[in-house]
Amino acid sequence: MITELAEKARPSVVSIFPVQGPGRSKEFPGERLPNAPGSGSGVIIDPEGHIVTNNHVVGDANEVEVRLSDKTKLIAQVIGKDPDTDLAVLKVTGERPLPYARFGDSNSVKVGQWVLAVGNPFGLDRTVTLGVVSGVGRDNINLSRYENFIQTDASINPGNSGGPLFNLRGEIIGINTAIINFAQGIGFAIPANMAKQVIQQLLIKGKVVRGWLGVGIQPVTADLAKKFGVSEGEGVLVNEVFENDPAAAAGIKPGDIITKIDGTSIDTPNKLSRLIAALPPGAIAKIEIVRDGKHLLLDVALTERRDHAIVASLPQSRSELKLGIDVQDLTAALAEKFKLKDSKGVLITKVDAGSLAQAEGLREGDLIKEVNRAEVSSVNEFTAAVAKIKRGETILLRVLRESRAFYVVLKPSDR
């Protein structure tokens, strides 16, 4: 069964190398060292000769050398690339029909099912490894902007990048993209359904166009969950809403917790980014939010994504100490010095070493905009707001750093 599948699957897999430059050897024009920089794998996906691989295998090249299973060498044109998912589409023209593989449905992939990875590790052509799916929906690996990886223990080695992950029906369920070097036997593949969507856009438009919401977001930690009245990890917290963008037009506000998009639960900033990016500009997204304990459903008309980073990452809450900050009213000169886009707020002028504020990542030049959801625009208002906080209670601050906002929870132990 496995041997038949391997025989059927291998011919569609190709080796990819950078095109040799003018200084290449005349005697051995196609010879390369195994696993030379930029070498990798790919898979032919249709009779027209389209090949899918990783963007990082192609790099900045407009054309690459492709080696087929019968050792034929062809030059492939790079049709389109998408660094945000690390995918690229190439095209070769063969003199005869080329073997190709079909995509399967990656949404039906289950943990524990058998899979086959095919690629060219260390320059060894079309190596087949068998393994199981050990996880799905992995999205905090920091390999690309939009992540939803299938995790597998099928051996994926350098040179396998861009090669296919097959199910036992011989369908492509993923494109192998990376290994964790320090954890042997853990590999990641871009799911087929995400790849299909990207490939379709690259073939039609030559680029990928994505939906844009226009918010800054951060994870809902245990401390933030308590302050906003939701469960830990339920939704993501909106810490900023960009003017004239879809979220602002639909009435989304800082402090809202986005819990669902089109009925799909959101539990990480990455998942929100990925779901919004998968929608086309002009789509109406049904976004469920929690505001002051109430559930609201908003229709948001998405626009095209511009290149903003929209995830604010913050250190988790740790120790209980005094606040450990000095503050003063914001002046125009200070706003300019710290590149702040706001003219009102309470500026942190000093953060004590070893203090709670330092442990939570606050620093000199941060502008405090809110204390426990109440706006503060002067030191007097800040002092009054802090004075209302009872012993043992936590303090929720909304902070602006240069042009980015975020929330942070402080746990003072005494005052």
Q: Which residues are catalytic?
A: 56, 86, 161
**Does residue 90 contact residue 76 with C-beta atoms inside 8 Å?**
yes
What b-and-e string marks burial along 111-142, b requiring 16 or more CB atoms within 10 Å of the CB? eeebbbbbbbbebebbbbbebebbebbbbeee
CA distance 116 to 154: 7
CA distance 24 to 3: 38
- Could you tell me the two tokens for 171? 């369908």
Task: Check residue 263 and report its DSSP letter.
Answer: T
CA distance 277 to 47: 29
Cα 166 from chain centre: 24
CA distance 311 to 238: 10
Q: How many CA atoms lie within 13 A of 390 on its CB side?
A: 0
**Does residue 141 contact residue 32 with C-beta atoms inside 8 Å?**
no
Paired strand residues for 88: 53, 81
For residue 129, report the phi and psi dihedrals to the nearest 5 degrees.
Answer: -125, 140
Which of these, 15, 12, 10, 7, lies nearest to 158 by C-alpha position?
A: 15
Q: Looking up tokens 């620093």, which residue turns up?
A: 363
Cα 203 from chain centre: 22
